[in-house]
Structure 1
Amino acid sequence: MSVPEPATRAVQARSRLLRAAVEAFAAKGFPATTTRDIATGAQMSPAAVYVHFRSKEEVLYELSDAGHRAFLELIDDADDPAQPPTARLRAVIGALAAHHARDHVWSRVVNYELDSLSTEHREAIGVMRREVARRVSAIVDAGIAGGTFDVDDPQATTTLLLSMGVDVARWYRESGAMTPQQIGDFHADMAARIVGARADESPL
């Protein structure tokens, strides 16, 4: 086995620290987690965090940034604008819910530790969160415009659809009765009911 190049070793070390931070933040919460906890979880020296990150808050920001970029990529992969609004909504909401179950530890940190970010970092993450909401809202609006959805308050409906998926990360456990895919399917069904989707809509 060849010895990793310095840059590769640095990337590997950062990845180990980030994985350890996810577990520590999820278990203890950001305020109660110390940099020593993170380093210990990564099986590294107590000073290791500061070799790769300026602060504990920067660790949280990197996790939050990566997590929200993953949400946007997931929507891109799931959404097919050529499909009818109901199919698009089911695909997107189902994919997001399944993701929050599958990666529930990371998603719990990403969604529930936002107040621990600095003002600058919280605003950067806020831009992505608003973009996630905008993309789902666009599907809801398309369904309303086409007469497919029966929605009184599009903004509140979008918030509800996203919130029920995010909350999966809080309560999901591998020992539960439903798999991530089953949770995704259930949320897809619920999303269609929430918007009052017409049952006779068929894919293009």
Structure 2
Amino acid sequence: MSVAEETPGGEDMPWGEVTPEAARRLLVAAVEAFAERGYHATTTRDIAGRAGMSPAALYIHYKTKEELLHRISRIGHDKALEILRAAADGEGTAAERLADAVRSFVRWHAERHTTARVVQYELDALGPEHRAEIVELRRESDAVVRGIINEGVAAGEFDVPDVHGTTVAVLSLCIDVSRWFTTQGRRTPDEVGALYADLVLRMVGAQK
């Protein structure tokens, strides 16, 4: 399945704002190549060919293959953080906001499973500077979820002896959806999101 086919209803891809069009096509091609072959087995010629361009044309927009991966990873992690912050800043109890965060986060990882798999699992292929930047974004996402859980504990909604460990478990559970989700499976992205939201509320001992 191509990256374009992942997107139900013609919604914008995570890099819908990327311009020019050639740069966006290269990002889509790179995601497909990295997901299929892995970062290290993919060449710039592979990516350019998928985008219908020459390798020389690729270098006009991205100096290296690693720069392409960094751009993909940055856009994906920015989107992930946006999703979590929107839920955390919403109205409702800590339980309601945690459920919303998990539901939205899981839905994105299911709907964009090919893209999300590259975003989440190719971190070690980034250079030191770019890797440090992405790790910081991950820490911010961690802090958002940990903040909701801490609020729930303080309000007596949650029973969580280890907030840090539980936060890691929640995010890991959500991210892993991109590894196994398939559109030929039994559940839709919305259904998986709802299932995981319920599982996470059970995990934190949410009061019914």
Task: Give TM-score, length-normalised by structure 1.
Answer: 0.91
Pick the aligned partner of 1:65 from 57, 74, 79: 74
Q: Deviations over 1:162-198 (max 9, x none)?
A: 0001000000011011000000000100010000000
Partner of 2:203: 194
Gaps (5+ residues) in structure 1?
Answer: 1-9, 200-204
Q: Determine the structure 2 residue equivalent to 1:164.
A: 173
Find the aligned partners of 1:23 and 1:81 in 2 and give their Cα distance.
34
Q: Post-superposition shift, 1:80? A: 3.9
Kept in 1: contact 2:83–2:105 (CA 8 A): yes
CA distance in 1, matches of 2:94, 2:87: 13
Q: Which amino acid aligns with 1:20?
A: A
User: What amino acid sits opposite 1:190 in the alignment?
Assistant: L
Deviations 1:68-107 (A, max 9, x none): 1101111233334531110010000111011100000110
- The question of whether the paired residues in 1 share the 8 Å contact of 2:85 and 2:144 is answered with no
Partners of 2:157 and 2:198 in 1: CA distance: 15
Partner of residue 151, structure 1 = 160
Which one of 26, 30, 41 corresponds to residue 39 of structure 2?
30
Matched AA of 1:151: V
Contact residue 94 and residue 151 of structure 2 kept, 8 A:
yes
The number of equivalent residue pairs is 190
| SS at structure 1 position matched to 2:41 | coil
Choose from 139, 143, 166 the match for 1:134: 143
For residue 134 of structure 1, what is the amino acid of its counterpart?
A
1:127-150 Cα shifts (integer Å, max 9, x gaps): 110000000000000011111101
List gaps (5 residues or longer) in structure 2.
1-18
Sequence identity (%): 45
SS in 1 for 2:134: helix
2:60 is aligned to 51
Give yes or no for the alignment of 1:16 onto 2:25. yes
**Aligned partner of 2:145: which letter?**
V
Distance 2:112 2:176 in 1: 12
TM-score, normalised with respect to structure 2 = 0.89
Give the letter for the 1:112 counterpart: Y
Q: 2: CA distance between counterparts of 1:76 and 1:147?
A: 22
Asked if 1:88 corresponds to 2:102, the answer is no
Q: 1:111 corresponds to which residue? A: 120
- Letter of the structure 2 residue corresponding to residue 55 of structure 1: T
Correspondent of 2:85 among 59, 76, 81: 76
Q: Secondary structure at the match of 2:83?
A: helix
Asked which structure has the greater CA Rg, the reply is 1
